[in-house]
Homo-oligomer: A and B are copies of this chain.
Amino acid sequence: MEVGRLIEAGLLAEDGLAKSEGGRRSSLLRIPHTAGLIAAVDLGATSTDVALSTLGGEILVHRGEPGDVKDGPRSVLDGAKGLLSELLAEQGADARDVLSIGVGVPGPVEHASGVLRSPPIMPGWDGFPIRAAFADEYDAPVFVDNDVNVMALGEHRDGVGKGEDNVLFVKIGTGIGGGIIADGHLQRGSQGCAGDIGHICVDPDGPVCSCGNKGCLEAMAAAPAIAAKAEQCAEEGLSLRLREVFEQRGALTARDVGEAASLGDYHALQIIRESGRLVGQVLATLVSTLNPSLIVVGGGVANIGNSLLAEIRSTVYQRSLPLATRNLSIVLSELDQTAGVTGASVLAAEGVLQTRVG
């Protein structure tokens, strides 16, 4: 019945009959090229990426440019729409060819309404009607989700998570977030905030987090925490290398710590290991709970050095149930910048297929 409706809607076409295996013969199905284009928008804290893909998931063209979500929704979304128009024109297409739009944003999204709820790093976006912002140009449904969920979809479609049904994607950057693929599907939970692992408490006596609670994973292990610990090390004169960079620039970044560690700085290495241990501790709990076959670690901090991944692995394998880790791999993301737009196009394609069938 669903298939019949998709064919009526022009999103599927019959392509002959399958070989008989006894019983009724099945039709072979394909997605027709006339089905239309998918527009993918990936808004980062300081970047806007846009892509066009087929309904089948093939990215046709991808373009990114700097942008600042702090400029507010009107300016940022106008920028994204401008990029989209450029890409469409280059493909000899226009807004009418767009079947569906997927948007990833760096903040918590209420799934039912597609609206951001109190996003900490996006002033002016709280409750802003992102879907409506596309309605003046596009007669297409708009699907919005947070960037980590969208990256998890991307990893599952085209990254190391391809073909795996139970994947945990973890982004470690300015914040820490998770995206859960269970039984082949992205899990959003009852309010759309599933995977929000950055605010799991890892130390009730830890430092105060931007969310107001104490000892959240994010407050103790993400990029700003790594930088703050390094600056303290520099000020106390424990690490001469960190001190030198700190005196030159007046501030340190997680990347500086990674570089110092790669040059053999003991304290830089300890700071990275401490982050890895805390992330690993939370992941061990999630492994016992969800029994994934793969954990993919991405985000800006993921690449500051091998010792982070090594410490995450060692903590997870030590603290999870042996049965749950027997076939578990923990790897770095390989998709990098394209995970977002790939995932946003999956979001849009899955969304429109469900809408047209429903």
A96 at the B interface (CB under 8 A): no
CB contact list, A287-307 vs B, under 8 A: 288-293
Q: A24-B4, A108-B323, A211-B321 are in contact. Are A288 and B197 (CB under 8 A)?
A: yes
Closest Cβ of chain B to A102, distance in Å, is 19
A199 at the B interface (CB under 8 A): yes
Contact with B along A191-231 (1 / 0, CB 8 A): 11111110111000000000101000000000000000000
A20 at the B interface (CB under 8 A): no
- Verify A165–B190 contact, CB threshold 8 A: yes
Closest Cβ of chain B to A206, distance in Å, is 12
- Verify B284–A201 contact, CB threshold 8 A: yes
Q: Report Cα–Cα, A24/B9, bound state, in Å.
A: 12
Contact of A327 among B108, B190, B211 (CB under 8 A): B190
A249 at the B interface (CB under 8 A): no
Contact of A200 among B182, B185, B288 (CB under 8 A): B288
- Verify A319–B182 contact, CB threshold 8 A: no
Interface residues of A: mostly helix, strand, loop or mixed?
A: loop
**Chain B hits for A290, CB < 8 A:** 180, 187, 189, 194, 289
Q: A4-B24, A23-B8, A323-B108 are in contact. Are A190 and B284 (CB under 8 A)?
A: no
Chain A interface residue count, CB cutoff 8 Å, equals 53
In the complex, the chain B residue whose C-beta lies closest to that of A195 is B289
- Verify B24–A191 contact, CB threshold 8 A: no
**Chain B hits for A211, CB < 8 A:** 321
Closest Cβ of chain B to A243, distance in Å, is 33
In the complex, the chain B residue whose C-beta lies closest to that of A281 is B201
Q: Which 7 A-B pairs have the closest CB atoms?
A: A189-B291, A190-B293, A194-B291, A166-B190, A193-B291, A182-B187, A193-B323
Beyond contacts A189-B290, A189-B292, A190-B293: 17 other A-B pairs, Cβ-Cβ < 8 A, are: A4-B24, A8-B23, A178-B289, A180-B290, A182-B187, A182-B189, A190-B328, A191-B291, A193-B324, A194-B291, A196-B289, A196-B321, A196-B324, A197-B288, A199-B321, A200-B284, A211-B321
